[in-house]
Amino acid sequence: METEVDFYELLEVERTADDKTIKSAYRKLAMKYHPDRNPGDAGSEARFKAISVAYDCLKDPQKRATYDRYGHAAYAQAQQGGGGGGGGGFSDIGDIFETIFGSAFGGGAGGRPRRGADLRYDMEISLEEAFHGKETEIEIEVSQTCEPCSGSGAEPGTDRTRCPTCQGHGKVRAQQGFFMVERPCPTCHGRGEIIEKPCAACRGEGRIDQAQRLEVTIPPGVETGTRIRLSGKGEAGPMGAPPGDLYIFIHVRRHDVYEREGTTLLTRVPITFTKAALGGTVGLPGLDGEWVTINIPAGIQSGEQLRKRGDGMPVLQGRGRGDLVVEVKVETPRKLSTKQKELLREFQQSETDAQCPESQGFFERIKAGFSKR
């Protein structure tokens, strides 16, 4: 699975961030990682270039919309001359991006059509679904290989011909001062071939946007940020090139009872002060559908935690489960009947300092402190 450096993560903003927030985040990070402030630091220089690339994309509404749908592959394709679905105006950014991070999302030029774009799909699931896993189906609109021309882009019965400008290499060279610069061929846009009679169905693109239904398996134990890769289910490559991949990004909804830290489930349970003093049990609904019984030891204090091993989340692609951690909150009754007050006063009279050592120690330290003044 390739490593994806997300533009929003680079700028440390949410995907829903507005233009003002993105601009502010960029200025802050640019000042922090600017090469002038970090002389000789290659890491800071690379980070500065990366956030500049990210900001150049996200500040432009059209580029941002393209990136949100296609990801880095939009840049990789556009860098080769807009070859199918990438859009124009990205070539310089694509050069910088590939210099820093490499060609993680595409193939090469030089006569070979680039693989299709990788796509991103965000899926929201419940904590129960993350616990059990699920089989589901999604529908996305994605470029697929054109059937009439079989992805060639040429009208059926015709064929592509070698580009006369680059002689099929896909690149041309030009002298600039002392340097020889190699660029994608402007005639064939780096493909090495030209189509004299484009396919009427796909207009020479070799692919058509169509709705596609896909079955997705969510394994037990996934959490927010988990990526599921569907190989070959991304955009079809131009001119019959291999398709990209589809990445399913998991987002687990907030639960009413439990919070999650890795495989550990956490919850806070209020108990009466009598149960805290005398001990007892509380029952919780487990994510597996079974009730979990928590034993409350006598004398437990508010804020103490009880651990139930093996009642947490499943280990992703592994065996066993994490733990359930219950934090106890002792609740004091707000309204008491006359009889209850009488009983408590009677209990108060029989109370000893030894039964509440923390209170006793605290007030003894206060007395000792004032006596020294």
Any domain includes 273:
yes
Whether 126 has a pLDDT exceeding 90, the answer reads yes
Least confident segment among 92-101, 192-201, 213-222, 358-367: 92-101
Q: How confident is the model at residue 91 (pLDDT cuts 50, 70, 90)?
A: very low
Burial class (CB in 10 A: 0-12, 13-18, 19+), 23: middle
Provide the pLDDT for residue 259.
95
Give phi and psi for 98, each to the nearest 5. Answer: -70, -30
Q: pTM here? A: 0.58
Any domain includes 328:
yes
Provide the pLDDT for residue 101.
39
Sequence-distant (6+) residues with CB within 8 A of 139 are: 211, 212, 213, 214
Whether 86 has a pLDDT exceeding 60, the answer reads no
pLDDT digits (tens, 9 = 90+) for 293-346: 999 999 999 999 999 999 999 999 888 999 999 999 999 998 899 999 999 999
Provide the pLDDT for residue 313.
95
Break the chain down into helix, strand, coil percent, rounded to 5. 30, 25, 45
Any domain includes 216:
no
Q: Supply the range of the domain harboring residue 290.
A: 260-371
Whether 111 has a pLDDT exceeding 70, the answer reads no
147 token code pair? 């059937």
33 token code pair? 């990682």
Any domain includes 112:
no
Arithmetic mean of pLDDT, 85-95: 38
Any domain includes 188:
no
Arithmetic mean of pLDDT, 47-62: 85
Q: What is the side-by-side strand order in the sheet with 305-308?
A: 259-261, 264-272, 324-331, 305-308
Q: How confident is the model at residue 370 (pLDDT cuts 50, 70, 90)?
A: low
Measured CA to CA, the distance from residue 27 to residue 295 in angstroms comes to 54
pLDDT digits (tens, 9 = 90+) for 251-299: 999 999 999 999 999 999 999 999 999 999 999 999 999 999 999 999 9
> Is 202 annotated among the ligand-binding residues?
yes
Any domain includes 282:
yes
Whether 192 has a pLDDT exceeding 90, the answer reads no
Any domain includes 359:
yes
Contact present, 299 and 277 (Cβ < 8 Å): yes
CATH code for the domain of 296? 2.60.260.20
246 residue type, one letter: L
296 residue type, one letter: I
Contact present, 7 and 58 (Cβ < 8 Å): yes
> Is 199 annotated among the ligand-binding residues?
yes
> Is 57 annotated among the ligand-binding residues?
no
Any domain includes 287:
yes
Provide the pLDDT for residue 359.
66
Measured CA to CA, the distance from residue 47 to residue 106 in angstroms comes to 22
98 token code pair? 């590939």
Provide the pLDDT for residue 87.
36
pLDDT digits (tens, 9 = 90+) for 134-158: 999 999 988 888 888 888 888 888 8
What is residue 115's DSSP assignment? P
Q: How many CB atoms lie within 10 A of CB 169?
A: 18
Helix, strand or coil, per DSSP, at residue 183: strand
Least confident segment among 39-53, 90-104, 320-334: 90-104
Mean pLDDT of the chain: 81
Number of domains in the chain: 1
